[in-house]
Amino acid sequence: MKCGQCVSVCPTGAISLFDQVPEKVEVPETMAQDFE
């Protein structure tokens, strides 16, 4: 799953997905701040 796809589908659930697969998903600092 690509980061962009998840964000466009469920921005609120993206953070949980990153929590489950941090090794496979790269989150830029700008994007991380957006979730916070």
- Output the pTM of the full model: 0.15
1-36 pLDDT, tens per residue?
Answer: 455 555 555 555 555 655 665 555 566 666 556 655
Could you give the 3-state DSSP secondary structure of residue 17? helix
8-30: burial string, b at 16+ Cβ within 10 Å, e else: eeeeeebeebbeeeeeeeebeee
